[in-house]
A and B are shown apart, each in its own frame.
Chain A
């Protein structure tokens, strides 16, 4: 394991940072550590939150502390863990038209491509579910093609519609709720990620791969008819 940093978070958590830059290899290491912790949970652990380059370990400060948690997690670095579960390929529909894609023009300017070329490049990506984060069902997909990578906005914009397909840097996601975002909105998806099925409330599992498929405005409208927004 390369150089690992531990950062205390308030009285009740420890951030375990495995490296500085997002890469598939690093995320795989985070998920491997997450599985090792799940198999041998340290005393006082409440939950872990795996992300791309780090993992948050939330603990009960009445039972343990940052130092004990760090020692317990260090001891799991070389633990034997099973292989990563094999992901499923998921298809997500997306409409890139008009008011559903308010930042498409800005992204086209920033990347020096036509809007149509931006769309084709987005469709050409092979995405992987790296983690959930931010809000319920927000699955962060890695794999935005390099030429399409744009920075996030300096501040989040409020009330962006659920279903918006947004990009920032190498990441893409489909928003599940109407909420603020600082990412660029290039389309909107009628595919439901957040489901009412209590046995599978979230469409993706971490490790799944995702392909986007383009739909026109009328197909989008038909698919979302009668749905609350």
Chain B
């Protein structure tokens, strides 16, 4: 049994532990939390040889720097296009690599993306709340946020050399700037003109952007008289319009109920795309029927499963790869020998 200790020398805001999230607690006001970009979180774990829902560190555009102060282990990084430096050397933004005692690792915002994931070959010792390490950012419950001086302790670590190298990126994601939504459930509070505005306008993400949601700027959708509707359940992806007409898209740490009307709800595939956008990026909303939304999700679930199965395959060590080639050419030679 080997352990590794990583000491954080710098962490931006909203750098947190996240497993895949806690389902089933919304009735107590607790959203699932978990990764803002679920596929990238699963990819970092899967390419490293972990189960897809293992605890990883979610890194915001604020970035993370750490040093391995004891032990050694393999790590996986995926999500967005972050700048990753290991021991002063730039490595792939989506890759699996080793960190030895004394090595420093820095992950900083790059050209695109708001969230990257750092997964660990071993068991991360992070606090659990309601059975999960997923951090609910507003309360800090769960694994919690990492700060300068924090340590990440990983037990049962190993080096998985056969997995080192770049991680193939998903090629099947829907376009980011055309976000598919199902109308409602409270579209009845909006006039036809406002609904038309909502679907024809371009909206810009503002800097009011955290794990709970992102406020948009664009045409206002002011409704009269809907301010006193009873608080009712909300889900990840709800587009809620406050009394001032400003829409907010709710994300992983969303509130579980609210009394402002929801004009539309972003479908599950596209909400993680929205989460990966940045302040000042633009998007528009495209209507999709509930039936088509389910069909689209079923199709993309297959793509995701095939993708994760592919990156789960070890690449093999250099020796193994050479050996494989010899065996193959040997077999071919045998076949063609008369």
* Complex interface: stretch among A108-116, A136-144, A216-224: A136-144
Query: A87 at the A/B interface (Cβ < 8 Å)?
Result: no
By beta carbon, the residue of chain B nearest A55 is B233
* Inter-chain contact B139/A177, CB cutoff 8 Å: yes
* Complex interface: stretch among A95-103, A119-127, A152-160, A184-192: A152-160
Contact of A134 among B29, B139, B141 (CB under 8 A): B29
Per-position binary interface string of chain B over residues 261-291, scored 1 when its CB falls under 8 Å from any chain A CB and 0 otherwise? 0000111100000000000000000000011
* Complex interface: stretch among B195-203, B224-232, B313-321: B224-232
By beta carbon, the residue of chain A nearest B244 is A155
Query: B173 at the A/B interface (Cβ < 8 Å)?
Result: no
Query: A65 at the A/B interface (Cβ < 8 Å)?
Result: yes
By beta carbon, the residue of chain A nearest B290 is A8
- Residues from chain A with a CB closer than 8 A to the CB of B256 are 49, 132-135
Contact of A51 among B139, B230, B243 (CB under 8 A): B230
* Inter-chain contact B268/A171, CB cutoff 8 Å: no
* Inter-chain contact B27/A11, CB cutoff 8 Å: no
- Residues from chain A with a CB closer than 8 A to the CB of B28 are 132, 136-137, 201-202
Beyond A132-B27, A136-B30, is A53–B232 a contact (Cβ under 8 Å)?
Answer: yes
* Inter-chain contact A10/B265, CB cutoff 8 Å: yes
- Residues from chain A with a CB closer than 8 A to the CB of B152 are none
Query: A211 at the A/B interface (Cβ < 8 Å)?
Result: no
How many angstroms from the CA of A78 to the CA of B85 in the assembled complex?
62
* Complex interface: stretch among B41-49, B296-304, B324-332: B296-304
- Residues from chain B with a CB closer than 8 A to the CB of A46 are 23-24
How many angstroms from the CA of A7 to the CA of B233 in the assembled complex?
12
How many angstroms from the CA of A20 to the CA of B30 in the assembled complex?
25
Given A132-B27, A137-B29: 16 more A-B contacts, CB < 8 Å: A9-B238, A10-B237, A10-B267, A10-B268, A47-B27, A54-B233, A56-B26, A65-B290, A65-B294, A133-B258, A137-B28, A152-B227, A156-B242, A176-B139, A179-B138, A182-B243
Residues of A within 8 A of B (CB): 7-13, 15, 21-22, 46-56, 58, 61-62, 65-66, 131-140, 151-156, 168-169, 171, 176-179, 182, 194, 201-202
9 residue pairs from A and B, CB less than 8 Å apart: A8-B185, A9-B185, A11-B182, A21-B230, A52-B231, A61-B298, A134-B231, A152-B243, A168-B259
